[in-house]
């Protein structure tokens, strides 16, 4: 297959040159903690939704350069012979803690934490960031869309507007953000998802007239199918559709024009023809604002494409992967931090707590410090209210928690997304630009 890349190569070269230099100077075995976070949410966004952990875990199982990968790394002198040998048997033996998929995150949330040797942790950087940055961008957009859509199901139809493999990841991330299904077959097959879609304008144009096309589709898919009614004239198409399918026609789809007014007209016409249970689906460059504007239109479901798979204006999350703690020459762990202007980081590993009062989230507390101090840290209840730890263990000393991958984990993530949103202040769901829904406080107890 063409996209058959080893996960270990979907990686920036410098991960391997750093590994190689560290192997030579003896620091590759130093214990390290790397953390993924974003310095800021996209401008005006109230929250982000974490997604991609399950995909990282799937790929982690195969994260080892193949023989031909190793040949390439040797031939290009990316790594020395000793490092190449070490890579032959590579297996990640560290620990990964992360925000659940579907969890809300904010600036400085430690979304994922990797603990292990420098060598094994540095190799994972690029892949982890690729997955979390893209999947979380899609889930974050999907979350705003499903909030705007209320009880009406949103379906992913965006595959054609993003890279063909990204499309599969986008379909999955959309589920995390509350979508009900996808048009993408690869995603539906891999994750056992609801798959939707019946016909394009080309199917109508293929036939000598619209009636022939509708008859053909109903013969193949039954009267419960959804007919596309805007190839020529919507009113005529609806008349033809109900004539051909009867009032048990499953649905019609409108893909152009002013969707709210067209849906109103279509609903009236369908009702007058007795097709009172026929559903109306609309699909045409929808985003969360368009969905909100359609709230009072008689629409039953939405197909969302371009704006979903491009993150509705924010196609990536600006997440970074930073070394925050490492073993020194003294054998002790030390908090470390970059001091670059405007891009400084907080040293030491993090513990992330969501703080509640009256059952609603009030803030996020990020505590930096040595492992032992973090473990025994007790937040002051008077100041922080009830608290909940946000990092769960996904990989324990190399042992991958398979319950976080696959179909069931994905539906659990969608449920968790709904619960996470329900806990946020109501302003979180405002589509207008604003501050993040709850403040983040970062404290250090080193």
Residue 185, token pair as written in the block: 């077959």
Rounded to whole angstroms, the Cα distance separating 146 from 138 reads 12
Residues from 139 through 158 that contact a copy of itself (CB under 8 A): 157
Of residues 162 and 387, the one with the C-beta less far from a copy of itself: 162
Instruction: Give min distance, CB of 292 to a copy of itself, in A.
Output: 21
- Minimal distance in Å, beta carbon 320 to a copy of itself? 8
Tell me the chain's radius of gyration from C-alpha atoms: 25
**One of 101, 120, 230, 346 touching a copy of itself (CB under 8 A):** 230
Could you give the CA distance from residue 101 to residue 95 in angstroms, rounded to a whole number? 17
129 vs 438 by CB, closer to a copy of itself: 129
Of 85-93, 338-346, 391-399, 412-420, the segment contacting a copy of itself by CB under 8 A is 338-346
Report whether 122 contacts 73 (CB < 8 A).
no
Pick from 126, 301, 387, 436: which binds a copy of itself (CB under 8 A)?
Answer: 126
Instruction: Count CA within 13 A, CB hemisphere, residue 341.
Output: 0
Alpha-carbon distances, residue 342 vs 12, 39, 159, 439 (angstroms): 24, 10, 36, 20
Burial of 209 from C-beta contacts in 10 A (0-12 / 13-18 / 19+): exposed
Q: Could you say whether residue 446 binds a copy of itself (CB under 8 A)?
A: no
CB atoms within 10 A of CB 419: 11
Q: Distance between CA atoms of 443 and 196, rounded to whole angstroms? A: 47
> Per rule CB under 8 A, is residue 340 in the interface with a copy of itself?
yes
Per rule CB under 8 A, is residue 306 in the interface with a copy of itself? yes
Compute the distance between CA of residue 91 and CA of residue 120 in angstroms, rounded to an integer.
8
Binding-site size for a copy of itself (CB under 8 A) equals: 114
Contact stretch for a copy of itself (CB under 8 A) within 143-151, 212-220, 369-377, 395-403 = 212-220
Q: Among residues 76, 82, 268, 418, which is the contact residue for a copy of itself, using CB under 8 A?
A: 76
Count CA atoms within 13 Å of residue 277 on its CB side: 9
Of the candidate residues 40, 85, 91, 233, the single one contacting a copy of itself (CB under 8 A): 233
Q: Tell me which of 143, 231, 278, 281 binds a copy of itself, using CB under 8 A.
A: 231
Site string for a copy of itself, 168-207 (x = CB under 8 A): xxx------------xxxx-xxx----xxxxxxxxx-xxx
**Cβ(142)–Cβ(173) under 8 Å?**
yes
Region of 10-18, 99-107, 108-116, 145-153 interacting with a copy of itself (CB under 8 A): 10-18
Contact between 295 and a copy of itself (CB under 8 A)? no
Smallest distance from a copy of itself to CB 206, Å: 5
Measure the CA dihedral 282/286/289/295, to 10°: 10
Q: Please choose, out of 38-46, 253-261, 353-361, 364-372, the segment that lies near a copy of itself by the rule CB under 8 A.
A: 253-261
Give dist(CA 181, CA 158) in Å, integer: 12
Work out how close the CB of 341 gets to a copy of itself at its nearest, in angstroms, rounded to a whole number: 5
Between CA 268 and CA 271 the distance in angstroms is 5
Q: Which stretch binds a copy of itself (CB under 8 A): 64-72, 86-94, 107-115, 421-429?
A: 64-72
Rounded Cα gap, residues 210 and 315, in angstroms? 38
Question: For residues 397-436, which are near a copy of itself according to CB under 8 A?
Answer: none
> Between residues 161 and 373, which has the closer beta carbon with respect to a copy of itself?
161
Residue of the chain from 16, 92, 302, 348 that contacts a copy of itself (CB under 8 A): 16
Alpha carbons within 13 A on the beta-carbon side of 409: 20
User: Least distance in Å: CB of 75 to a copy of itself?
Assistant: 10
Encoded one letter per residue, x for contact with a copy of itself by CB under 8 A and - for no contact, window 22-61 reads x-xx-x--x-x-x--------------------x--xx--
**Among 97, 100, 322, 351, contact with a copy of itself (rule: CB under 8 A):** 322
- Among residues 257, 274, 434, 439, the one that binds a copy of itself under rule CB under 8 A: 257
Q: Residue 16 or 106: which CB sits closer to a copy of itself?
A: 16
Q: Does 7 bind a copy of itself (CB under 8 A)?
A: yes
Residue whose CB is less far from a copy of itself, 143 or 284: 284
**Both tokens of residue 380?**
């002051």
Burial 92-118 (b: 16+ CB within 10 A, else e): bebbbbbbbbbbbbbbbbbbbbbbbbb
For a copy of itself, the closer CB: 102 or 347: 347
Nearer to a copy of itself among residue 142 and residue 361 (C-beta): 142
Q: Where are the alpha helices (DSSP H) in 273-405?
A: 288-293, 306-309, 371-376, 381-384
Phi and psi torsions of 263, nearest 5°? -65, -40
Residue 388 DSSP class: E
């Amino acid at each position: 297959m063409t996209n058959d890349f080893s996960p270990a190569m979907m990686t920036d070269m410098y991960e391997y040159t750093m590994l190689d230099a560290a192997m030579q100077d003896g620091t590759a075995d130093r214990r390290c903690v790397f953390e993924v976070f974003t310095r800021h949410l996209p401008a005006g966004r109230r929250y982000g939704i974490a997604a991609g952990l399950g995909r990282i875990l799937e790929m982690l199982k195969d994260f080892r350069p193949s023989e031909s990968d190793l040949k390439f790394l040797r031939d290009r002198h990316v790594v020395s012979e000793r490092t190449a040998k070490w890579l032959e048997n590579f297996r990640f033996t560290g620990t990964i803690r992360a925000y659940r998929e579907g969890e809300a995150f904010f600036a400085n949330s430690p979304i994922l934490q990797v603990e292990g040797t420098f060598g094994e942790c540095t190799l994972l950087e690029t892949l982890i960031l690729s997955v979390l940055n893209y999947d979380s961008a899609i889930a974050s957009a999907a979350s705003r869309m499903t909030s705007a859509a209320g009880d009406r199901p949103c379906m992913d139809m965006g595959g054609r507007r993003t890279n063909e493999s990204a499309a599969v990841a986008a379909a999955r991330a959309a589920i995390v953000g509350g979508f009900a299904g996808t048009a993408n077959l690869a995603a539906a097959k891999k994750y056992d998802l609801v798959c939707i879609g019946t016909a394009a304008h080309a199917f109508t144009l293929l036939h000598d007239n619209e009636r022939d096309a509708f008859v053909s589709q109903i013969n193949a898919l039954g009267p419960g199918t959804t007919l596309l009614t805007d190839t020529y004239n919507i009113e005529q198409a609806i008349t033809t559709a109900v004539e051909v399918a009867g009032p048990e026609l499953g649905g019609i789809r409108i893909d152009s024009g002013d969707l709210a007014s067209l849906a109103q007209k279509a609903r009236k016409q369908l009702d007058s023809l007795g097709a009172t249970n026929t559903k109306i689906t609309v699909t045409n460059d929808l985003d969360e604002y368009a969905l909100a504007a359609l709230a009072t239109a008689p629409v039953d479901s939405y197909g969302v494409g371009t704006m979903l798979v491009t993150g509705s204006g924010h196609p990536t999350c600006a997440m970074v992967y930073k070394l925050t703690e490492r073993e020194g020459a003294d054998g002790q762990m030390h908090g470390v931090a970059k001091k670059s202007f405007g891009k400084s980081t907080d040293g030491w590993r993090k513990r992330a707590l969501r703080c509640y009062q009256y059952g609603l989230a009030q803030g996020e507390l990020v505590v930096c410090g040595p492992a032992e101090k973090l473990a025994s840290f007790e937040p002051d209840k008077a100041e922080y209210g009830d608290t909940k730890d946000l990092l769960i263990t996904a990989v324990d000393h190399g042992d991958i928690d398979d319950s976080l991958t696959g179909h069931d984990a994905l539906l659990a993530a969608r449920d968790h997304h709904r619960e996470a949103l329900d806990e946020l202040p109501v302003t979180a769901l405002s589509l207008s630009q604003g501050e993040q829904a709850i403040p983040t406080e970062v404290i250090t107890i080193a």
